Amino acid sequence: MDDTPPAVAGTEPPKPPSKPLSSQDPVPRPEDAPGFGDDTLTPLHPNHVKVLRIEISLFTVPFVIGSLVLETALLLPAGSFIVPVVLAAALLIIRVPLRRYHARGFAMGADRLRVVRGLLFRSDTVVPFGRVQHIDVNQGPLERAYGLATLTLHTAGSHNASVHLPGLLNEDALSMRETIRAHIKRETV
Amino acid sequence: MGFVAQGLQGLQRAVLPMIAVAYGMRDESFGLFAALGLGLVIAAVGGGLAYLNWRRLTYTVGETDIRVESGILSRAARSVPFERIQDVSLEQTLLPRLFGLVQVRFETGAGGKDELSLRYLSEEEGERLRDVVRARKDGADAENSAVAAESADAETTVEEPARVLFAMDLRRLLTFGMFEFSLAVVAVVGGALQTFGDFLPFDIWELEEWQRVFAGPFGQLESLGRTARIMGGILGVVSLLAVGVATGVVRTVLRDWGFLLERTAKGFRRRRGLLTRTDVVMPVHRVQAVRIGTGLVRGRFGWHALSFVSLAQDSGSSNHVVAPFGQMDELRPIIAEAGFEPPPEDLVWQRGAANARIDSAVASAVLLAPVAIAAILLGRPWLALLPVAAAVFLGLRQAYLWRFERHALSPAQLFVGSGWLVPKLSIASRVKLQSVEISQHILGRWRGYATLHLGLAGGTLSIGGIPVPRAEELRSAVLSSIARTDFSELGQ
């Protein structure tokens, strides 16, 4: 199975988009708003891969320590615990973040945001700006170190009540928030 | 007055410790007095606390919000703006009802425990509060508080008479109860026997004891032989059925006694309940979707239940039942009143993808196969028939589901029919949906089908196992409807 979307091929993360916002000047009517095909997906910032790698590394630390403990107990010949665990951890750390990164993307339309994610369970969510209740921009310590942020849109729906979009450059996330906020305001007033 | 009722309700809690003490000290001569004393102490403490609570809880109806201050030692103050109050409902449980008291609940959409509620107000005060909140809310909405509030006040005084949309008489109620068959009481009695079985003079779980008990009066019955035993078995089953039906009838009568749904100037008003009486008002524009459900047996007789999906909670459930038991002809006007349309005759229904159903059937067969193989390997080939039969049943179920689960799109609404033996139909307004998601698991991506999840305020709505192009078509149709109206305009 190949999970990389057609937009981004290859193993190296591509260059970040300079400006992910499509700012069409006369705002198009909702009916002829861009219907997003798969080729219009914007990839996340490459630093997202690094953040994912660190997160997975932290996740594997307890397992490595556990295998070290078992190793010192000398139950089986040397290396029978630590070698497979370290190999599996290495595979996870090298491979999974890249694949995840390539599986994720977003598209900012004139009146809606599309968020695509997931390897085994793929989900493709569209949130119209007119239904956004409030907007969060969050930065965890790791994300802050790399200048990234997570944009979260909250809707009133029970399913997908909050849609998260991680791995955005902080400035991009903030400007996206402003765009969405301005849109809500314009439609309300 | 309120603290008296609360104290009395606290007495319910004193009963169990009293019984425990009476039982524990049953050998002592003063056991009974100790139990009574304990009960008195608990009642006094409960009553005292209730009195303090009552003294320390105050509420103020302000210009723009309602404020509640409470707490004996630690104080809490809460303010809820009128515009955020979706709905005010009144609820009366048995004891407060005897005192003419009512619980006023302010629905803000916060859900469950976070909702503001004032217990033990007098009925008149509850009604007054409801009217005040409504009038102020209208005033706040109009952004011209003084004039608007006045006109709203005038409006409430000359309120147009309510129209009855749905009511249930005793006969309907009893018919409804017959279909609410429940053996819950049998389970409860069984559980109680297991817990308190020690109090009975014999051990109910010992077969020999039963035989001994029955050997006395039923001795001659035993000697009558097989026919009598079969008769006894039938009698047992019949009595079980009778218990189930009786439970259903009692529960239904308690819950839905005097069911009355009215259309008032402010929306739908529903009153029901024999011991616990509730009075709920739902503004029409808050209805996000309507659901028509039925039951396994009652569906064959054309009985359906209608409920509204909204953000407000209805005693723990997010759906408001507005017609629990009626024929479709009775439900249609209610649906229309809520601004929804029942499915027209010429609606084009679509089925899901057949390969999604095949995958589900194959998956269950694959899961059951090891069981069958294990049975054969263990030398019990007959036992292997069980999982095989289960797999065939599940396969047929999928075929049936493929045949009957369907959805349709009309210019304003989305219809989703689901369920196998108990069909259910959800009608959602396209404009009132919040978000759209297409999700696929790995098998679905390979085989080209997806699940469409629609964000619905106060409920969930999804269409499973449909071809990807159809999912995309539905998504773009729904999104174009949503984009035309902002959330804040939905109320109008």
Give me chain B's average pLDDT, please.
79
Give counts: helices (H), strands (E), chain A: 4, 6
Q: Would the CATH topology of B58-158 be identical to that of B277-352+403-486?
A: yes
Under a CB-based contact definition with an 8 Å cutoff, are residues B82 and B136 in contact?
yes
pLDDT of residue B471: 92
The residues near B320 (Cβ < 8 Å, ≥ 6 apart) are: B270, B280, B282, B307, B308, B309, B310, B312, B314
| Residues contacting residue B397 through CB under 8 Å, at least 6 positions apart | B420
Please spell the DSSP secondary structure of A125-177, one letter per residue: EEEEGGGEEEEEEE--HHHHHTTEEEEEEEESBSTTSEEEEEEEEHHHHHHHH
Do the chains contact at B440 and A157, CB–CB below 8 Å? no
Asked whether the beta carbons of residue B488 and residue A127 sit closer than 8 angstroms, the reply is: no
| Contact between chains at B457 and A184 (C-beta distance less than 8 A) | no
Of B433, B445, B475, the CB nearest to A122: B445
For the ranges A92-106, B28-42, B260-274, which has the lowest average pLDDT? B28-42
Task: Report chain B residues touching chain A, CB-CB < 8 A.
Answer: 311, 318, 433-442, 445-446, 453-462, 475-476, 479-480, 482-489
Give the CATH fold of the B58-158 domain: PH-domain like (2.30.29)
The shortest C-alpha distance from B247 to chain A (Å) reads 34
pLDDT at position B6 is 63
Which residue of B435, B440, B489 is in closest CB contact with A163? Answer: B435
Q: Which pTM does this prediction carry?
A: 0.73
Chain A residues in contact with B438 (beta carbon < 8 A): 123-125
Say if CB B455 and CB B433 are below 8 A apart: yes
Q: pLDDT higher for B196 or B178?
A: B178
Q: Which helix (H) or strand (E) holds B225?
A: none
Residue A146 CA: distances (Å) to CA of A60, A169, B127:
21, 9, 58
Burial (0-12, 13-18, 19+ Cβ within 10 Å), B257: middle
* Interchain contact, B487 vs A133, CB within 8 Å: yes
CA–CA min distance B482, chain A (Å): 7
User: Which residue did the predictor score with more confidence, B193 or A89?
Assistant: A89
Please give the mean pLDDT across all residues of chain A.
78
CA quadruple A108, A113, A114, A115: dihedral sign = positive
Residue of A nearest to B484 (CA): A30
**What is the tens place of the pLDDT at every residue in B327-354?**
988 999 999 988 898 888 888 898 888 8
Residue B143 has pLDDT above 50, yes or no: no
DSSP letter at B457 equals B
8 A C-beta contact, residue B271 and residue B253: no
Residue with tokens 């509640």: B68
Domain range summary for chain B, segments of one domain joined by +: 2-56, 58-158, 179-255, 277-352+403-486, 354-401
> Residue type at B270?
R
Q: Give me the pLDDT at residue A148, please.
A: 93
Query: Does the pLDDT at position A53 exceed 70?
Result: yes
What amino acid is encoded at B471 in this protein?
A
Top mean pLDDT of A35-49, B148-162, B318-332 is at: B318-332
SS3 category, B396: helix
Report yes or no: B35 and B14 within 8 Å, Cβ to Cβ: no
Query: What's the mean pLDDT in A96-122?
Result: 91
* Cβ–Cβ below 8 Å for A187 and B455: no
3-state secondary structure of B87: strand
The answer to which of A128-132, B105-109, B236-240, B320-324 has the lowest mean pLDDT is B105-109
Evaluate whether the domain defined by B277-352+403-486 bears CATH number 3.40.50: no
Cβ contacts of B439 on chain A, cutoff 8 Å: 118, 121-124
For B372, the 3-state DSSP assignment is: helix
Closest-CA residue of B relative to A130 is B486
- Residue with the larger pLDDT of the pair A155 and A20: A155
pLDDT category of residue A6 using cuts at 50, 70 and 90: very low
- Contact check, Cβ <8 Å, B455/A31: no
Q: Which residues make Cβ contacts (< 8 Å) with residue A12, sequence separation at least 6?
A: none
The encoded tokens of residue B6 equal 């609360």
Checking A136-144 for CB contacts under 8 A at 24+ apart, the result is: A137/A170, A137/A173, A137/A174, A137/A177, A139/A170, A142/A51, A142/A54, A142/A55, A143/A51
Residue B354 CB-density burial (10 A; 0-12 exposed, 13-18 middle, 19+ buried)? middle
Q: Could you tell me where the beta strands, DSSP code E, fall in B332-430?
A: 350-351, 406-409, 413-418, 424-429
